[in-house]
Amino acid sequence: MVSVTGAVSARVSQFQAALQRKSFSHYRESFAEDLSFTEAVGKYPDRNALYAYMHHYLKYLAPEELREHRSYFSSHRRGFGEDAFHAMWWLLLREYQPRYCLEIGVYRGQVTSLVGLIAKLCAFECEVHGISPFSPAADTVSKYLKNIDYLEDTLASNRRFGLPDPQFLKALSTDTVAVQHIRSKVWNLIYIDGNHDYEVALADYTLCRDSLAPGGLLVMDDSSLYTDYRPAKFSFGGHPGPSRVVKELASSELRFLGGVGHNNVFSNR
């Protein structure tokens, strides 16, 4: 019997082969270009081609430190996400260099540590915050590992990459203390990856939208179900809750910058 990990690796290999054959052959030469996030979106307005570029970028163009980071979090269920997202974060942060960053829904720290790592590699100051229950607390579409001290596990992974501890708040995003924390700053970047149920995703979006700096970035995870993105077999289009928030609100209230897989990037107008 083929393991789940083996099956996913095989599908990733098939996708890489497709990049080198005919599926994206008309992009093959330009995939070698090291673009900014804005340049990549402009060159690949088709979501599927943009995803393919990001997927290719991590393997062939990204700093080795990013590949090592992704490999670490891909093992032992330390993190979710897809390879293309590491490239997305690299291109996005390298270009915008946000000063104050917040993630809602930290899980085991893949993105908070990645933000810190990219800031370190690009030599810009970035204060990283995270709000999470740091527990197996789930929603209607998710289940998480038990018997893990999520906070200590997250801090240990962060320190493994020689990064300063982020400013973590152990709470649900809807708790009063969390709401106060979000309102306490004007954020340059907020990544919403918390509870996927519509009511909570909507509350997170509304609060975070109002706490963005002018030109600040908001990234919605798991939110591409109602777009023209067509996931590869190893990829994922998103969940109904965040996808509905993007369709009904974010796409009209904020400026859409680009979508990589089920991540959608917006800026405060």
Assign 26 a pLDDT band (cuts: 50, 70, 90). low
Mean predicted confidence (pLDDT) in 237-249? 98
What's the Rg (C-alpha) of the chain?
Answer: 18
CB-CB contact of 37 with 92 (8 Å): yes
In single-letter form, the type of residue at position 140 comes to T
**Per-residue pLDDT tens for 107-161?**
999 999 999 999 999 999 999 999 999 998 877 778 888 889 999 999 999 999 9
Q: How far apart are CA 78 and CA 227, in angstroms?
A: 28
Considering the domain 97-267 in this protein, what is its CATH number? 3.40.50.150
Q: Is the pLDDT of residue 184 over 90?
A: yes
Residues 18-32 as b/e (b if ≥16 CB within 10 A, e otherwise) read ebeeeebeebeeebe
pLDDT of residue 261: 97
pLDDT of residue 93: 98
Percent of the chain with pLDDT over 70: 89
Beta strands 212-220; 263-267: pairing state: antiparallel
pLDDT higher at 193 or 139: 193
**Per-residue pLDDT tens for 52-76?**
999 999 999 999 999 999 999 999 8
